[in-house]
Amino acid sequence: MVFSKRLTLWYLHNKRDLPWRKTHEPYQIWLSEIMLQQTRIEQGLPYYYKFIEAYPSVFDLANAPADEVLKLWQGLGYYSRARNLHETAKYVAFELDGKFPDTYKGLLKLKGVGDYTASAIASICYNEPVAVVDGNVYRVLSRIFGIDTPINSTPGIKEFKALAQELLDKDDPATFNQAIMEFGALHCKPQNPYCETCPFNEKCLALKDQRIKELPIKLKKTKIKKRYFNYLVFDLDNENTILEQRTGKGIWNGLYQFPLIETEKLSAENELVQLDSFKELIQEQKYSLELYNEEPVVHKLSHQHLYTLFWLVNTQGLQERSVSLEEVMNYPVPVLIGNFLNEYLPDDYK
DNA sequence: AAAACGGGGCC
DNA sequence: GGCCCAGTTTT
């Protein structure tokens, strides 16, 4: 039996019932694909429902305020996806009359849409025979065909794309693409795959050579940096505080946070208050300072560990640019800030 | 070609 | 602590 036939047979018996499998509308497929980039389906699913409810069409999304989109995205991570999502929605709605490009090549031009996503949308919505290559596909193919080219090397990317394209069922690319991903997610899992009951266990080279655990091969990743954050939480007791929007190219671009002082190492109070950046924030005001957490909160990102202290600052007068307590929860914030607010604020504000 | 970009789940 | 997840963009 040919590869695609054996694969799709497995798929028809084992596929999950997922909302984006009930439609071929490019808006919904596009939304789901952006959301699921580097994201487990279980994690993305509630966000997909939220977005579809809030924005049933690309026009609804296009007309939404950027901060509102970011707020709905809060907690999902990789926030550039949300910014690109909104920008692309506006482009499709207002420049393309609400119609998504209907080819792989055209889709590839959209912001936030790379090779994988363009292939997924083109195949699922328009039956264009282009193979998807995501983390699942790398794993399935590297194991069955015993390929040890690193999946994140330039030759590897080319090799796996070509192989996937060769195996693709050109008569039903939509089913094939979803089948190979579903097979990787549910059966040929990263850890403890079900080789005993695998439809490919007679031909799988990794199984034959006992290399299941070592495939796929991935080049080393960069090492994690430690950073030390001091958040100044102004006057939360007095019903108003200060939030600032992060700008630039670093983490959490576009999200809001308390005024931040980053230091080279964990700060003591007497060191913190002498910093120019601290004095700048306090201006000439009278203040009292209290450390909220003796032990730093360690917030772990892919490439950074953030050791964070929250300092409660009480001043006399009302702050300039202050945000009321009711408003705080409407701002999109990083999970690090969201966790603090959930712990600190009374339940009425949540 | 390599680094940056989140958060959560699993071993 | 390390790896992975329906990857893309920037450097």
Whether residue A92 is predicted with pLDDT greater than 70 in this model: the reply is: yes
Q: Which residues surround strand B, with CB < 7 Å?
A: A 38-40, 42-43, 75-80, 153-154, 191-192, 219, 222, 249-253, 299-304, 334-336
What whole-number distance in Å separates Cα of residue A170 and Cα of residue A127?
Answer: 9
A225-349: CATH, from 3.40.50.150, 3.90.79.10, 3.40.50.300, 3.40.50.720: 3.90.79.10
A3-208: CATH, from 3.40.50.12280, 1.20.120.1200, 1.10.340.30, 3.20.20.370: 1.10.340.30
Q: Average pLDDT, stretch A172-198? A: 98
pLDDT score at A295: 95
pLDDT band at A336; cut points 50, 70, 90? very high
The angle formed by the CA atoms of residues A154, A159 and A162, to the nearest 5 degrees, is 125
**R_g of chain A computed on alpha carbons:** 24
Q: Do A272 and A311 form a contact (C-beta atoms < 8 A)?
A: yes
**Which two three-digit tokens encode residue A253?**
């671009």
Residue A85 contacts by C-beta under 8 Å, 6 or more apart in sequence?
A31, A34, A61, A69, A73, A112
Among A183-192, A215-224, A251-260, which stretch is predicted with the lowest mean pLDDT? Answer: A215-224
A269 tagged catalytic: no
**How distant is C1' of B3 from CA of A248, in Å?**
16
- Cβ of A267 < 7 Å from strand C? no
pLDDT score at A6: 98
Whether residue A317 is predicted with pLDDT greater than 80 in this model: the reply is: no
Nearest residue to A79 via CA among A250, A329, A230: A250
pLDDT tens digits, A194-249: 999 999 999 999 999 999 999 999 998 778 999 999 999 999 877 789 999 999 99
On chain B, which bases lie within 7 A of the protein's CB atoms? Answer: 1-11
Residue ranges, CATH 3.90.79.10, chain A: 225-349
Within 10 Å of residue A335's Cβ, how many Cβ atoms?
16
pLDDT tens digits, A7-26: 999 999 999 999 999 999 99
Q: Average pLDDT, stretch A99-121? A: 98
pLDDT score at A319: 61
Q: Average pLDDT, stretch A27-51? A: 98
**How distant is C1' of B3 from CA of A321, in Å?**
36
Q: What is the pTM of this model?
A: 0.96
- Specify the residue for token string 């009951």: A197
Among A185-199, A211-225, A255-269, which stretch is predicted with the lowest mean pLDDT? Answer: A211-225
Whether residue A114 is predicted with pLDDT greater than 80 in this model: the reply is: yes
| Backbone phi and psi for residue A212, each to the nearest 5 degrees, phi listed first | -55, -40
Residue ranges, CATH 1.10.340.30, chain A: 3-208
Average pLDDT, chain A: 95
**Which two three-digit tokens encode residue A185?**
């997610």
Q: What secondary structure letter does DSSP report for A350?
A: -
pLDDT score at A346: 66
